[in-house]
């Protein structure tokens, strides 16, 4: 008799949850399929039944974040000005990083996950489209530096264990305020350059 689909779905979710916990403890490269199997109390073959590789597991963990990011990109790209697109992209990034704090903490700056995402065309395209929204057309050095600071700051705060006790609403509010001040510096610099 075939396994019910719900059982496989439940097993898949348990596996993703176990992998996320192990990735948090050991990093993606430091986690093996055998470790995931051991955490679940199943055979390695049971892990392979759900996923073909550890890369596939990592993509399944980060997949919901990318799904949300794609929706955010669609919304931001529909706005009329680069400034409005940037503001929406940044506020959306804050929302996503806070909502997915556990995933952010595991994957922010992890070279293995960066390699995996860069190797998949749909993920790479999403990252490039989002970067375009943040940077705007023909970004100068000041814009590129500021956007890098904003992005790294958002991800860094959401992954900082010293901020784990900070309420999500407070984290969102402070990140948004700080980001708006930094983005204001981009706008002020742009206006000053136009006057000259």
What does the pLDDT look like over 3-62, one tens digit per residue?
Answer: 444 455 678 999 999 999 999 899 899 999 999 999 999 999 999 999 999 999 999 999
Residue 68 has pLDDT above 70, yes or no: yes
Q: What is the pLDDT of residues 118-127, one digit of tens each?
A: 889 999 999 9
The reply to whether 85 and 139 lie within a common domain is yes
Rounded to the nearest integer, the mean pLDDT of the chain is: 89
Domain extent, residue 68, equals 62-195
Instruction: Name the CA radius of gyration of the chain, rounded.
Output: 19
| Residue 21: CATH number of its domain | 1.10.10.60
The reply to whether 72 and 123 lie within a common domain is yes
The reply to whether 132 and 45 lie within a common domain is no
Task: Convert 35-64 to b/e letters by CB count within 10 Å (16 or more is b).
Answer: bbbebbebeeeebeebbeebbebbbbbbee
> Is 30 part of any domain?
yes
The stretch 167-173 carries a mean pLDDT of 97
Cα torsion angle, 102, 103, 108, 110, sign: positive
The reply to whether 71 and 109 lie within a common domain is yes
Residue with tokens 């900070």: 166
Q: How many CA atoms lie within 13 A of 8 on its CB side?
A: 8
The reply to whether 70 and 10 lie within a common domain is no
Percent of the chain with pLDDT over 90: 75
**pTM for the whole structure:** 0.83
Alpha-carbon span 90 to 150, nearest angstrom:
8
> Is 57 part of any domain?
no
37 close to 23: Cβ distance less than 8 angstroms: no
Residue 187 has pLDDT above 50, yes or no: yes
The reply to whether 119 and 166 lie within a common domain is yes
End-to-end CA distance of the chain: 76
The reply to whether 134 and 40 lie within a common domain is no
Q: What integer pLDDT is reported at residue 191 of this predicted model?
A: 54
Q: What is the pLDDT of residues 91-115, one digit of tens each?
A: 999 999 999 998 988 888 888 888 8
The reply to whether 11 and 96 lie within a common domain is no
How many structural domains does the chain have? 2
């Amino acid at each position: 008799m075939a396994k019910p689909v719900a059982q496989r779905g439940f097993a898949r979710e348990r596996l993703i949850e176990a992998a996320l916990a192990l990735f948090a403890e050991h990093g993606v490269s430091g986690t093996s399929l055998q470790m995931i199997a051991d955490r679940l109390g199943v055979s390695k073959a049971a892990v392979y039944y759900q996923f073909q590789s550890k890369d596939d597991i990592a993509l399944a963990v980060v997949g919901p974040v990318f799904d949300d990011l794609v929706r955010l990109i669609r919304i931001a790209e529909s706005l009329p000005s680069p400034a409005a697109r940037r503001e929406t992209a940044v506020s959306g990034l804050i929302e996503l990083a806070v909502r997915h704090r556990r995933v952010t903490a595991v994957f922010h700056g992890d070279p293995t996950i960066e390699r995996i995402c860069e190797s998949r065309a749909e993920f790479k395209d999403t990252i490039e489209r989002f970067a375009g929204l943040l940077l705007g057309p023909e970004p100068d050095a000041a814009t590129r530096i500021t956007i890098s600071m904003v992005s790294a700051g958002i991800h860094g705060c959401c992954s900082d264990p010293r901020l784990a006790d900070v309420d999500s609403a407070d984290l969102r509010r402070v990140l948004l305020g700080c980001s708006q001040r930094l983005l204001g510096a981009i706008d002020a610099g742009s206006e000053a350059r136009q006057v000259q």
